Structure 1
């Protein structure tokens, strides 16, 4: 089985420093039930590719390890473990690329935290759930995905396709993030591990997934599969994720305690401004994209104008909060018909968002990586294409008015960017030119003559043909 990782970062040979493997050498490592070979088919300033070839010994596999099936069955001796990227590949990543996985690089200490243009190719992966499951797992993490499904036998078309795929992943992110994703997810796809799963695996999962698993829309599925559907372990792992998230929230509350009232009043101003524009649009069917715990949804439900309301968020936990705050379980059938909550990401197309007249994105876009904004733009303005889109985002110029913010810091730890008024205007102009909208920009909150208001709101109107 092969794992290749390429980059066009300049100089591309920095990949050798990150992996702690010299491009001029072929290196071998003893790993579980076999050998791992690392070599570089190309290593120039423009592009560098590192390949790990994992060679599993089938005899050693049977003699010393548990493999799928009983030792009295043929499957114990004839299986796909030597040929697919599975838990064996995860173990090899942890051993061979341990420095990179841990984010360490002695020669260039700043490099592990730097986002690089990376491309990974894995041949082959056994996927229970097919291409759809691959996309559900990788696309929310920001990957562009190319998938090739292999036939059972090219000479016998009637046999159909196999569950085996060659996949290519593209993303701009730190190498340690790519490796942590692969380490966790490869065993998830084929649901088989070469060792007994125990309480220790909960700690491994939480450690390797600490920066991304909690916010993943398939968090529960990934956790369950990683722990081989063992109910007790899965429940404990999910509970730990909830507890850790609550601790982080409490820390944020304490840090920002001095400005809670101001933030809340500003947030209420944003919600009321968005509500006013949605009402003025005359729309009867509206979207709340990135609805969070349902504050705007609650305001929308009070207005009889809105006959159909759909709230979408990437966080299942936030949707549960919204459901509880809106008392949907106890609501009348008529109210339940008006509103629907769905889990989803704004960076890939979702047909459930089509045929709505208006949409709101209140403080949403700044939580999306800038390189993923083009995907969000197409999802909202091209594929969904409502007649009215109301969108708010912080004004970065106003940040100097907040004493608790250090220079260059963002207002929230999850913000990926914050735009000045000029940057926001340039982006809205790009939207109008690309998707045939016209726009008006309004300030929200107390306005300062030199730096503007705390938040900025764009109201897009679709140009009818």
Structure 2
């Protein structure tokens, strides 16, 4: 009977953790062969000791039984008789993986919860994977997630080399990940590589995609392609998935503290840069004379709280992430605020790239550590929505200075400070963008450093203040340059 195979191997992650502890996370004992789905799915461990552990997921598919089944979404009449499902890793293997490793996919391990967030050195091998587009597609979809990808094309017929390569590859991946993250990558990307599914694809598949990809898909450079491929090239479903991913479940702009703090050269010293950033923004707002402020991309509401404490008459916080807004409500204790304070603040879901009448009419707007979370292609839409339509009298923008990254010893050369940053600008690039945006919409612009202003590479954060021409102030603004640690918002 034809078999489809996936193996996952780890070595000892640290001196205190044997490799065989992988069995706890998978909820499958290494000493036993376990069978599921009426004998069609098997989980076994070809090797398991303190130094090395391999788990194999074997799927047995009866081609005749497939024809007798209820069938699925077949691309042509004979597809139920002539197909590759019993021989290649695709959606059927992923369905088996989802059922067999359900708890591991969810990141649950009641027996050993300490293992859930441990990063394991992993090797994944899938001998036959449907991969439309060949090795280049495998690299494009998997490498951005931190996998070393080896995708070897399989010939159409080994006996007739002249026929060339097939659409299948022998896929090997190596990387260091949490097990739940690795399984979610495979759950989404194995069917995405194939580009089709053995069953009807409907809105329920969008839910599956967002559950498995919610933590990483939004920041993936090929997210649109992944959505289309995973959803069997349905444009309508892919559009629905991307809308939901971006507007409701997307990453929290400005919520970057863990990544940047980990790269900080001088932790816990003097005033943290996040605090210096707040002070610089508040100083610019005070200088503008604003009484009403909208924090665009407010994240979990840290700056909104400072604005309330400063006594602004009206404060609006917006973010695309419902999760961030829920956290902001908890941080600000909106349910228990005195009525007078509660009447001054509002939190709403909104995208900085879309026109929204609720953000118009404010004296000032803030984009603090937000622009770098947008695709470069979306900056024009953001400029039109904020400067062209909302038109605050003053706009304060902060963003990381890419030149300063060399001062973070734990940040790899060329790496960005946070996993969701789409880019980071040098001082010249930031100035060019801000000057162009200001000129296009009738604003003047001035600049200031935030954090220690290194004589060679500049400050860790750069700030721009855009003023409507009738609000133009000094040619430059100033802010604190006290040494501090890098942390976002």
TM superposition score normalised by structure 2: 0.57
2:299 is paired with a residue whose SS is helix
Cα offset for 1:232? 2.1
Distance in 2 between residues matched to 1:247 and 1:78, nearest whole Å: 42
Match of 1:252 in 2: 299
Task: Supply the distance in 1 between the matched residues of 2:208 and 2:298 (Cα, whole angstroms).
Answer: 24
Pairing 1:159–2:163 present = yes
1:183 aligns with 2:224: no
Alignment of 1:411-450 (within 5 A): 440=456, 446-448=480-482
* Residues 35 and 41, structure 2, Cα contact 8 Å, conserved in 1: yes
Q: 1:365 to 1:209 in 2, by over 3 A?
A: farther
Which of 114, 117, 129 is 2:133 aligned to? 129
Task: Report the counterpart of residue 217 of structure 1 in structure 2.
Answer: 221
Whether 2:6 is the aligned partner of 1:3: answer yes
Q: For 1:36, which of 20, 34, 41 is the aligned residue?
A: 41
Cα 1:64–1:455 shift into 2, 3 Å: closer
Cα RMSD (Å) of the superposition? Answer: 3.8
State the distance in 2 between where 1:3 and 1:260 align: 53
Is 1:192 aligned to residue 233 of structure 2?
no
Listed one character per residue, the Cα deviations across residues 34-66 of structure 1 (whole Å, up to 9, x for unaligned) are: 711111111110111101111111111111042
Measured after TM superposition, the shift of residue 222 of structure 1 is 0.9
Divergent runs of 4+, >6 A:
363-366
The CA distance in 2 between the partners of 1:88 and 1:57, in whole Å, is 12
**Counterpart pick for 2:25 among 9, 18, 21:** 18
Asked which structure has the greater CA Rg, the reply is: 2
Equivalent position to 1:319, from 376, 390, 406: 376
For 2:53, which of 45, 48, 57 is the aligned residue?
48
Distance 2:18 2:414 in 1: 28
Structure 1: gaps spanning 5 or more residues: 262-292, 295-312, 328-359, 378-388, 392-420, 426-438, 457-465
Q: Distance in 2 between matches of 1:76 and 1:57?
A: 12
Change (3 A) 1:189 1:364: farther
Matches within 5 A, 1:39-438: 39-66=44-71, 69=74, 73=78, 75-245=79-249, 248-249=252-253, 250=297, 252=299, 254-258=301-305, 317-324=374-381, 361=402, 373=412, 376=415
Q: TM-score, normalised by structure 1?
A: 0.60
What is the alpha-carbon distance in structure 2 between the residues aligned to residue 209 and residue 165 of structure 1?
Answer: 23
> Are the equivalent residues in 1 in contact too, given 2:10–2:123 (CA < 8 A)?
yes
Give the CA deviation at 1:210.
Answer: 0.9
CA, structure 1 residues 80+130, in 2 after alignment: closer, same or farther (shift >3 Å)? same
Mapped contact 1:117–1:173 kept (Cα < 8 A): yes
**1:256 Cα deviation after fit:** 3.5
Higher deviation after alignment, 176-185 or 223-232: 223-232
* 8 A contact 1:13–1:43 mirrored in 2: yes
Residue 362 of structure 1 and its aligned partner are, at CA, apart by 5.5
SS at match of 2:37: strand
CA offset digits 1:161-195 (Å, max 9, x no partner) = 11111111111111000111111111111122121
Alignment check: 8 A CA contact 2:89 2:128 kept:
yes
Q: Distance in 2 between matches of 1:326 and 1:251?
A: 17
Shift of 1:324: 3.4
Q: Deviations over 1:408-432 (max 9, x none)?
A: xxxxxxxxxxxxx9xxx9xxxxxxx
C-alpha contact (below 8 Å) 2:7/2:55 kept by paired residues: yes
Mapped partners of 1:192, 1:26: distance in 2 = 31
| Maintained 8 Å contact 1:443/1:455 | no
Contact 2:218 2:250 in 1 (8 A): no
Q: Residues 102, 246 of structure 1: CA spacing in aligned structure 2 closer, same or farther, 3 A cutoff?
A: closer
**Looking at both structures, which has the greater relative contact order when contacts are Cα pairs under 8 Å and sequence separation is at least 6?**
2
Secondary structure class of the residue paired with 1:154: coil
Given that residues 92 and 198 in structure 2 are in contact (C-alpha distance below 8 angstroms), is that contact kept between their aligned partners in structure 1?
Answer: yes
Say how many residue pairs are matched: 315
Task: Tell me if structure 1 keeps the 8 A contact 2:73–2:200.
Answer: no
Q: Indicate conservation of the 8 Å contact 1:127/1:134, yes or no.
A: yes
C-alpha displacement of 1:133: 1.1
Distance 1:68 1:321, change over 3 A: closer
